[in-house]
Amino acid sequence: MKIKNLSQLIVELYEKLSSWEEDVVKDSGLTTTQAHIIDIVGHSGSIKMKDLAEKTGVTTGTLTVAADRLEERKLLKRKPHESDRRSYLIELTPEGESYFKQHHKFHLRMTEDLVSDLTEKEQEIFAGIIEKVLGKI
Amino acid sequence: MKIKNLSQLIVELYEKLSSWEEDVVKDSGLTTTQAHIIDIVGHSGSIKMKDLAEKTGVTTGTLTVAADRLEERKLLKRKPHESDRRSYLIELTPEGESYFKQHHKFHLRMTEDLVSDLTEKEQEIFAGIIEKVLGKI
DNA sequence: ATCAAGTATTTTGATAACCAAACTATATTG
DNA sequence: CAATATAGTTTGGTTATCAAAATACTTGAT
């Protein structure tokens, strides 16, 4: 297998996933950053600003503003940290949870769509290879 | 194969690729948009603003500004269209070409790294599955 | 040939993302 | 307790982004 071909295929796959994700996020009325934040909080549960900023890959200053927007839209809330008065815990509101679940469902549909031409066997092999690539095996 | 597992794996793979790409682009001193534009022009060669905007997935207004920045940095240039005086052809400068080639090399290294734990056979299967997923077969 | 309609790009006006650095409030440590 | 560290916000500045208006040119129909 020439690395060149494989590289090209991976880039194309990445672009396909990327464009799907962007389309669905924009349709939902959030920016990609906002959706990313909802997704991380949805997965992590209650999380400190600082840790959330780190996971999101932005500075705390950037996150402050993004959290403001999401709080305005009632998708998340800041809860005072019980033992550290400098800190907040970020949590999803019911609306935020609902967005998160919906987005999760989109991923399932997207995956179904993506692998619809693969046999059951091929899907398993695909999963195994991705696990290996991710260093999970 | 449960779609749920596969979906999770695909999301994780996507995130891994995404973070690699972002890291390397930021290190290069360009924004992701700028790198995206260089990449598209590098692949397409001489291309009209309108077509470039479409391929990049932004409005022509957005592209005008981005092209200005890249022209300031001497990575691309506007060349008047020979037969349509409303239009420009966008091309990479030698510096732009050099950036493009370097980025391409990064993709190759990334791919090598990514599939280093796979056997030759597995790499071929992986490529075949991606081709199928992309509708190339 | 001319004039209306269409097209390519730029400009404008607004919101949002993003960073680094300064700032505020609280916590920790010597 | 004082000095230092940490969590989050604010500030000042660049860039991305869009929709809609403006500009300059092309095309099609009469």
Distance measured from the CA of protein residue B112 to the C1' of nucleotide D19, in angstroms: 43
Q: State the alpha helices, DSSP H only, in A28-119.
A: 32-44, 49-56, 60-72, 94-114
Name every chain B residue with its beta carbon within 8 A of the beta carbon of A57: 19, 22
Question: Taking the CB of residue B77, how many other CB atoms lie within 10 A of it?
Answer: 15
Please report the pLDDT score of residue A81 as a whole number: 97
Burial of B71 (0-12, 13-18, 19+ CB in 10 A): middle
Residue bearing tokens 């549960």: A45
Query: For B18-42, what is each residue's pLDDT tens digit?
Result: 989 998 999 899 999 999 999 999 9
Mark the nucleotides of strand C covered by protein, meaning any atom under 7 Å from a CB. Answer: 6-13, 16-22, 25-28
Mean pLDDT over residues B70-91, rounded? 96
Q: Are A43 and A51 in contact (CB under 8 A)?
A: no
Strand D nucleotides where any atom sits below 7 Å of a protein CB: 6-12, 15-21, 24-27
pLDDT in tens, B57-69: 999 999 999 999 9
pLDDT in tens, chain A (137 residues): 689 999 999 999 999 999 899 989 998 999 999 999 999 999 999 999 999 999 999 999 999 999 999 999 999 999 999 999 999 999 999 999 999 999 999 999 999 999 999 999 999 999 999 999 998 88
Positive/negative CA dihedral, B39, B42, B43, B46: positive
Residues 51-90 of A with CB under 8 A from B: 57
